[in-house]
C-alpha cells in the first residue's frame, strides 16, 4: 500500500495567519516584512510550513506564538488555497487562519520578522494571494461578529460602551447611533457594569464594563441568540 503512494506527487502544506487587532479607533492587521526570496523586502502575512508531526492547527498556533509570544489566542481556520501557481518556487498549498489579539496585551513581537501593525484600510500590497486571504478573513470576521461575541477578544478585559461601539464600527465599517447601539447591547444582557470609570475622555468619566462569558454560555445553552 505504501508503495502506491510513491506514484503520486508530494506537495508542501503551509499555514498563513491573518492577525487582527484594534487600537481603540481602527481595526489593525499585523504584517511581516520578508527577509528571504522570493519577494524579499515585501510585506506578507505571517506563516510557515506544517511539520510532519503537527496538525495545521498546531502549526498556526506555533507560528502565532513565535511572532507574538502569546498563547491561547482566538484562532479560526478560514480557507485552503490550492491554486497551482500561487507561489513561483514550488507547489505550496496554504491553510489560512485568522486570529484576534488584544493589542494592549504584553505582546513581545519577534524583531526577527520586522513585524508592524497597519490600519486594515491602509496596509501595503501583499505578496502572492495574501490580499485575497485578508479580504476573505474580513468577511468571515464580520459574519462571526454578527452572531458571536468574538469582538471582545479584541478589547481589554474592561472597556467602555464607547470602546465597544468603536470596535463594531471598525469591524463593519459603518457608523451607529449611540443610543440605539447601547440599547441593543444592553438588551443582550451579557455585560457587567463595574463601579470603575475611564476618566481619560471627560471629567464625568465613562463606566467600564466586562463581558460575562459564564452568563453568555448559560444563555446559549438555553437557546439564546447573540445578534448585533
pLDDT in tens, 81-105: 999 999 999 999 999 999 999 998 8
| DSSP strand pairing (46-49 vs 12-22) | antiparallel
Whether 2-147 shares its CATH topology with 155-221 is answered no
Whether the predicted pLDDT of 111 surpasses 90: no
CATH 3.20.20.70 fits 155-221, yes or no: no
Instruction: Reply yes or no: is the peptide bond before residue 87 cis, omega within 30 of 0.
Output: no
User: pLDDT category, 2, cuts 50, 70, 90?
Assistant: low
2-147 — its CATH code?
Answer: 3.90.79.10
Q: Return phi, psi of residue 66, to 5°.
A: -60, -40
Domain definitions of the chain by residue range: 2-147, 155-221
Q: Cell numbers at residue 12, please?
A: 508542501
* Between 8 and 145, the higher pLDDT residue: 145
Q: Are 221 and 172 in contact (CB under 8 A)?
A: no
Average pLDDT, the chain: 94
| pLDDT tens, position by position, 185-224 | 999 999 999 999 999 878 889 999 999 999 999 999 999 9
Amino acid at each position: 500500500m505504501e508503495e502506491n503512494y510513491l506514484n503520486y506527487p508530494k506537495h508542501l502544506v503551509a499555514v498563513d495567519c491573518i492577525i487582527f487587532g484594534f487600537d481603540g479607533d481602527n481595526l489593525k492587521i499585523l504584517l511581516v516584512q520578508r527577509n528571504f526570496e522570493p519577494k524579499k523586502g515585501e510585506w506578507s502575512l505571517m506563516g510557515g510550513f506544517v511539520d510532519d508531526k503537527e496538525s495545521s492547527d498546531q502549526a498556526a498556533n506555533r507560528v502565532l506564538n513565535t511572532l507574538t509570544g502569546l498563547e491561547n489566542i482566538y484562532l479560526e481556520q478560514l480557507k485552503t488555497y490550492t491554486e497551482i501557481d500561487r507561489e513561483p518556487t514550488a507547489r505550496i498549498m496554504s491553510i489560512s487562519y485568522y486570529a484576534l489579539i488584544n493589542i494592549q496585551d504584553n505582546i513581545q513581537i519577534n524583531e526577527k520578522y520586522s513585524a508592524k501593525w497597519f490600519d486594515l484600510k491602509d496596509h501595503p500590497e501583499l505578496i502572492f494571494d495574501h490580499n485575497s486571504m485578508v479580504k476573505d478573513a474580513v468577511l468571515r470576521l464580520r459574519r462571526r461578529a454578527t452572531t458571536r461575541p468574538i469582538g471582545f477578544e479584541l478589547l481589554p478585559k474592561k472597556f467602555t460602551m464607547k470602546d465597544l461601539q468603536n470596535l463594531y464600527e471598525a469591524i463593519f465599517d459603518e457608523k451607529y447611533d449611540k443610543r440605539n447601539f447601547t440599547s441593543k447591547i444592553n438588551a443582550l444582557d451579557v455585560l457587567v457594569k463595574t463601579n470603575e470609570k475611564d476618566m481619560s475622555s471627560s471629567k464625568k468619566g465613562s463606566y467600564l464594563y466586562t463581558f460575562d462569558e459564564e452568563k453568555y454560555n448559560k444563555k446559549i445553552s438555553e437557546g439564546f441568540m447573540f445578534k448585533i
